[in-house]
Each structure stands twice: as C-alpha cells, then as structure tokens.
C-alpha cells in the first residue's frame, strides 16, 4: 500500500531526517506524532508526492517516486483522501458544492456526483446542512465537510494532518469517532498529531519522529 524505503529529506525543524523506512498496511490506523516542525507533514507530503525524498524512494500502490511522471500525480492523489488542519474549503460554495468539486475535477457524470455526494454527506452526518455555506458551520462541522470531500472518491487511505488541531474537545471527539468508523469500514488512516492525550486514549499503532529519527 504505502512504503517509504531509505528515504531522507529536509523538514522545517532541522537539517533532514535520517534514512526512513516506514510502511502503512491496508486497513491500518496509525498515529504519526512528534513535536511541531519534526517532519510529520513532510512525511504526508512524501506520500501524496508533493515533495520527493533526496535519497531512497516512496511507493504508493503502483506509483514509485523514482519514476512517476508529473502527469500521473493527479491520478495518484485521486486514490488518496487528504484532510488538512485549516480546512481549505471553498468559501463561495455551499457544503454540497465543496464536496462535489472533488468529483467534478475528475470528470464524473452529474448524476453520479449527486448520488456520491449525498451518500458521503450522510456518512459524516451533514446531509441536512448540504445547502449551508462554510461560514455557517462550526469548526467541527467544517472538518467533517473536509473529511467528506476526502472520502467521496473512495480512497484506500486517508491522510489527516492535525485534523483536530483547531477543534474543541467535543468536536475532536466527533471527528475521531468518524475517523474510527471510516477505518472500520476498511480505509487505512494515517493521522499526524502532537496531541499526546488523544493518542493515549486510542489503542493504535504509533510512529514517533524525534530529533530527526522515525521510531
């Protein structure tokens, strides 16, 4: 599924990570943790090939960072769900249109878009707010829209970069419950977070970045 072999790369908190070997197997739920600037987001960027390692290589399904062509990267990303801390919603579009956008850019037929968007909004508990604008939603609701958008293309893995970082405890619990349900359904989840209390409350595999080393 996801394999990082002998990869080294620069990150914001230091000169670069040592050689990293790191796998995500089908259906896993993994916490990726470490201090701010440790390289958590960098590892996620390696997986969706926004950046490339200085040495080694990354394999995501059948795509290899050593020989992937630039035109192939959008097709890789269609197989991934990506959730950011700062939502990155389109504020001039309602909830339905924000989720539909992920399908429109792939050329999905309109009738299929409607069916898929309504299905995934129901899954995240927001079907009744499909006509609301992002500014009319709470932070937790906005993050659920982001998750819906990430899920609408039925990815095999969800990459979540500090998805609860801006949320209160109640909204955090809602989002974590949603991620757990997604994982139970069979989608792998790789969640970057520095929230130690959150990690300790879950019985999940933990990968830690400390002083440039992945443990």
Q: CA 123, CA 133: separation in Å to the nearest integer?
A: 19
User: Does any domain span residue 116?
Assistant: yes
User: Does any domain span residue 69?
Assistant: no
pTM of the model as a whole: 0.93
Q: CA 180, CA 78: separation in Å to the nearest integer?
A: 21
Q: CA 23, CA 32: separation in Å to the nearest integer?
A: 12
Beta-carbon neighbour count of residue 86 at 10 Å? 12
User: Does any domain span residue 147?
Assistant: yes
User: Does any domain span residue 57?
Assistant: no
Domain count, the chain: 1
CATH number, domain containing residue 187: 3.40.50.300
User: Does any domain span residue 123?
Assistant: yes
Q: For the packed helices 139-151 and 95-104, what is the interaxial angle rounded to 10 degrees?
A: 20
Q: What is the pLDDT of residue 17?
A: 75
User: Does any domain span residue 86?
Assistant: yes
User: Does any domain span residue 65?
Assistant: no
Owning domain of residue 185: 26-41+77-214
Q: In a structure prediction context, what are the per-residue pLDDT tens digits for the chain, which is 215 residues long?
A: 899 998 888 776 666 777 888 899 999 999 999 888 788 888 999 999 999 999 999 999 989 999 999 999 999 999 999 998 788 899 999 999 999 999 999 999 999 999 999 999 999 999 999 999 999 999 999 999 999 999 999 999 999 999 998 899 999 999 999 999 999 999 999 999 988 888 988 889 999 988 767 88
User: Does any domain span residue 32?
Assistant: yes
């Amino acid at each position: 599924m996801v394999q990082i072999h002998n990869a080294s790369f620069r990150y914001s908190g230091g000169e670069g990570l040592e050689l990293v070997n790191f796998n995500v197997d089908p259906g896993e739920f993994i916490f990726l943790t470490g201090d701010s600037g440790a390289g958590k987001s960098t590892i996620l960027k390696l997986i969706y090939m926004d950046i490339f390692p200085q040495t080694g290589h990354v394999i995501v399904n059948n795509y290899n960072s050593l020989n992937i062509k630039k035109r192939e990267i959008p097709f890789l990303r269609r197989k991934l769900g990506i959730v950011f801390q700062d939502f990155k919603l389109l504020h001039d579009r309602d909830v339905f249109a924000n989720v539909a956008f992920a399908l429109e850019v792939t050329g999905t037929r309109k009738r299929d878009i409607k069916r898929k968007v309504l299905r995934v909004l129901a899954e995240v508990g927001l079907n009744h707010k499909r006509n609301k604008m992002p500014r009319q939603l709470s932070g937790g609701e906005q993050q659920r829209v982001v998750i819906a958008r990430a899920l609408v293309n039925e990815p095999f893995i969800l990459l979540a970069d500090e998805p609860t970082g801006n949320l209160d405890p109640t909204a955090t619990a809602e989002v974590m419950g949603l991620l757990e349900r997604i994982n139970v359904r069979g989608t792998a989840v790789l969640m970057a977070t520095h929230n130690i209390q959150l990690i300790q409350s879950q019985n999940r595999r933990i990968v830690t970045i400390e002083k440039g080393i992945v443990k």
